[in-house]
Structure 1
Amino acid sequence: MVDPSRKDARARFWDRYIQALRKQGVKPPFDRWHVRRAEEFIKAHPDQRLRELGPDGVQSYLRRKGHAGNLKAWQFQQVVRAIQTLYSTANIAWAARFDWQYWMDAARTLEPEHVSTARDTPAPTPVRLAERVADTRLAHVVHAHPALFEAFSETVTSRGLAISTEKTYLAWTCRFIVFLQSKPVESADEADVQQFLSQLVTQRNVAASTQSQALNALVFFFRYVLQRPLGELQAIERSKRPRRLPVVLSRNEVKALLSEMHGVHHLLASLLYGSGMRVMEALRLRVKDIDFERRAITVRSGKGDKDRVVPLPESTIAPLQNHLRQVKAIHEGDLADGYGEASLPHALARKYRNAGKEWHWQYVFPSARVAVDPRSGAIRRHHLHETAVQRAVKRAVRASRIPKQASCHTLRHSFATHLLERGQDIRTVQELLGHADVSTTMIYTHVMSKGGVPAASPLDGL
C-alpha cells in the first residue's frame, strides 16, 4: 500500500511541474503530453532516482530518442522540454548548466532539398525541380517546359554546381522565360537578354549584384543548356544602386554577443568570429578537419568548391576538445545501436564502404536526431541544421541589446574588419575568407577604422 503522504507529495510535485510548464507558455492539452514524456523518462530508468541520473544519462536517453523515426522535430523538442522542466522542478543543480537549448535546436534534421543533401540524389525530374524554385509562382514554368528543364537538371548535376547556385540559376531562367511571353525559348537571342537585364533596372530597380547574378544565370543557360553561347551584350542598362557596406560589430559588441550564448551555440559562434568561416562551412566540419597541434581548421569544399586553411582560436581549443569527447560518446552509442555511419562524398562512399563509421569522418556538430539518407535509405546522423545557430545568434543579439541587424555572417564580416584594423595585409585576409577576387575583400577597408582609430572630427578642435 502506497504511503498517503508520499502520494500527496507526488501530486504536489506534478502540480508544480504543470505550473512551470504554464509559465513557459505550454497550454492544455500539451501540458499533459509533457507529463507523459517525463513519466516515460522516469520509467526508462527504474533503478535510478532522478537525483542519481546525471547529464550523461540524460544525453544517452535523448540520443536514443533521436533514433525514433516516428518522432517529428516538435515532438522531440517536447521530450527535451519535458525532461528539462522535470529537473528544474526537482531543483537539481547541474540541470541549470546542461545545454538544453542545443538539444531543442538540434531536433531539426536536414530536409532532402537541403544544400548538404540535395546533391546526394540523382538529377531531379522536372516535377522535383519545380519544388526547388524559391518563388512558387514560377513553378508552372518548369512544368510547361519538361524537356528543357530535364536538360537543365542534368547539366547542373553533371557540372557539379552547388545546390544554392542551381536554385538561383533556376529562378532567373524561369523569370526570363516569363519575360519572353509567347516567344519560344529556343529562338531567344542576345536582344532578349539585353532587354530582360535592362528592365530589371528600369522597372525593378535591382542592385548591381542582382543584375550580375541574372546575367550569370542566363550565360550558363544559353551556353550549357541551349548550347548556344551568348554573343556580346552591348546596350544593357546598368544598375546605379550603390553597393551597401556590410554590418560589422565592434570588439565590445562581439564580447557582449558571445556572453549571451552558451554551450554548443557559444562554441559555434566563437569559431565563426575567430576563423571567419561561413555558417555552413562550420557545420560541415568533420573531426579530421580540426588540427589541434597546428591550431588550424581545414575548410573543405567551400564556396567555389575550394579548400582553405583558417586559424583555430586558442580560446576555443579546450571547449572544442570537451565537445568532441561528448560527440564521440554519442557516436559510440550510435555504433552500439547499429547506426553511427556518416554520409561521405560519392567516390569515397563507393571506394571505402565502411569509412563512414570511422570516428574521423563524423561531423563536429551532429544533429540530435538521425534521419534517412536520401541516396541509400540508410539511417545516418547528419550535421546540425543551420537554423539552430542562426536562431541562437539572433537571440543573443536581442539579449545583448546590440542596435544592429546582426547575424551569423556579421561575425565573418567582423573577423575580416578586425584583422585589417590590426594591420593584417589584404591578401592574407582574402585567403582566409576564401574570396576568389581581392576586390571582394576590399569592401572591408571601407568599414574599418584607419589604424584602429577613427579620424578626429574638426568639431572637437573648436
Structure 2
Amino acid sequence: MSVRFMDSVRNTLRVKRYSYQTEKSYCYWIKYYIRYHNMRHPNEMGPDHVMQFLTYLAVQRHVSASTQNQALNALNFLYVQIVGRPLGDVRKAARAKKPPRIPVVFERHEIKALFDVVHPDHKLPFQLMYGSGLRLMECLRLRIKDIDFYRKTIIVRSGKGGKDRITLLPEPLIPTIELKINQVSHYHRADLDAGFGEVWMPDALARKYPSEAVSLHWQYLFASHKRSIEPRSGKEMRHHIDDSTLQRAIKKAIQKACIYKKGSCHTLRHSFATHLLDDGYDIRTVQELLGHKDLKTTQIYTHVLNRGGHSVHSPLNKL
C-alpha cells in the first residue's frame, strides 16, 4: 500500500471537511480492507471484494451493526471519492444485526446524585450535556463565541451530519460558564505571552483571518490545561480536553453515586430528552433541540415514558 495513496485519501477527507475523528476511522478501515485482500490496490477490486470484507467482519469478527456500517461508509468514500467508481449494490454481504434497544436514562434523583459526587473539573460539561442535550464531542468543541448569554442559547456547530443547530443554555449555569471563560482567558493570555495562542479553525479560516485564530472568542470553552501538537498543521496549540477524560470521569461518578445502570456521557443526553417529554414539551421541539433528522429517532424516548402505546397497567395493580 503506497504512502502516497493514503496521503491522497487524507487530503480528500480534509478538502471535504470531514472531522479528524472521521478521518482516523476511515483511514483505519481503508487500510484494514487493503491488508485483508493481501495489499491489493483498490483500483483492482470492486463490490465483490467489499462484500467479502463486510461478511468477514460480521461472521468472523462479530462486529456490531454500527461498526460494520462505519466500515461500509469508509469504503463507499474510498470508491466514490478516490477510485472514482461507485460501489453499487453490496446488500448481499452478511449484515451484522442491530437489535432494538431502549436508551438508558437517569432519573432526576440519579442526575442530582451524579452531580453531587463528580469531580468539580468535570461537573460543568456533564451539566451542559444534561441541561442542553449535547453530545460529548459537541460539548467539548464548544467555542466561547457559541455561547449567547443574552438569548440564553448555545449554537452547536457542525454537529452530527455536519449540521448546525441551536439549543438552550440553562440559566443556572451562566455564572459557572462566565468563570470558565475567565479561566480560559488566563490560559490564552499566557499562551500569547509565550508566543502561541493560535487555535485550530475549520475550513482554513486561520489562513484567511489570521487575527481570528489568536482571538479569545474562538478559544474552546473546555480548553486543555496544557498545549499540544495539532495533528493536521503540526503547530503547538491549546486544544479542548480529551473526550476519554470525561468518559472515565462519568464511569467513576456513576459508581460513586451508587447508580446501578450502565450509563455513559450519552446517557445524559438521553435523560435530557426524556425529562423534557416528561415535562410535557412537544416532541417536535425536543427533536429540534437534539438535532434529529428523523422524528422516529426522537420517538424512542416515548417508550421510556410508556407513551408509545404501551401505557398498560398490570391487572395485579387492582388486586
For normalisation by structure 2, the TM-score amounts to 0.86
**2:201 is equivalent to residue 344 of structure 1:** yes
* 2:300 counterpart residue number: 443
Structure 2, unpaired ranges of 5+: none
Superposition deviation, residue 220 in structure 1: 1.6
Measured after TM superposition, the shift of residue 377 of structure 1 is: 6.2
- State the distance in 1 between where 2:268 and 2:255 align: 15
Partners of 2:199 and 2:214 within 8 A in 1: yes
Structure 2 residue matching 1:450: 3-state secondary structure: coil
2:123 paired with 1:261: no
Specify whether residues 188 and 341 from structure 1 end up closer, same or farther in structure 2 by C-alpha distance, changes over 3 A only.
closer
Residue 210 of structure 2 aligns to a residue whose secondary structure is coil
Alpha carbons 1:275, 1:415 under 8 Å: kept: yes
Aligned partner of 1:409: which letter? H
Deviation at 1:379, TM superposition (A): 4.6
For 1:186, the equivalent position in structure 2 comes to: 43
Task: Map 1:10-409; keep pairs closer than 5 Å.
Answer: 144-181=1-38, 185-345=42-202, 347-373=204-230, 379-409=236-266
Identity %: 47
For residue 367 of structure 1, what is the amino acid of its counterpart? S
- Give me the whole-angstrom Cα distance separating, in 1, the residues matched to 2:119 and 2:60: 47
For the pair shown, which has the larger CA radius of gyration, 1 or 2?
Answer: 1
CA distance in 1, matches of 2:211, 2:40: 53
Offset at 1:150?
A: 3.4
- Per the TM alignment, residue 203 of structure 1 is displaced from its structure 2 partner at its CA by 3.4
Structure with larger RCO (C-alpha < 8 A, sep 6+): 2
Amino acid at match of 1:366: A
How far the C-alpha of 1:183 sits from its partner, in A, is 6.2
Counterpart-to-counterpart distance in 1, 2:178 and 2:200: 23
**Contact kept? 2:118, 2:253, Cα under 8 Å:** yes
Count of residue correspondences:
318
Relative to structure 1, the CA distance from residue 147 to residue 254 in structure 2 (aligned partners, 3 Å threshold; closer, same or farther) is same
> TM-score when scaled to structure 1?
0.62
Report the Cα offset of residue 258 of structure 1: 0.7
Q: Is the 8 A contact 2:144 2:217 kept in 1?
A: yes
| Aligned equivalents of 1:382, 1:376: Cα separation in 2 | 13
Give the secondary-structure state (helix, strand or coil) at the position aligned to 1:404: coil
Q: 1:392 to 1:445 in 2, by over 3 A?
A: same
Deviations 1:167-221 (A, max 9, x none): 3323332333344348664332323333333343343444333333232222222
CA distance in 1, matches of 2:311, 2:258: 23
CA distance in 1, matches of 2:166, 2:276: 16
What SS does the aligned partner of 1:170 have? Answer: helix
The residue type paired with residue 282 of structure 1 is C
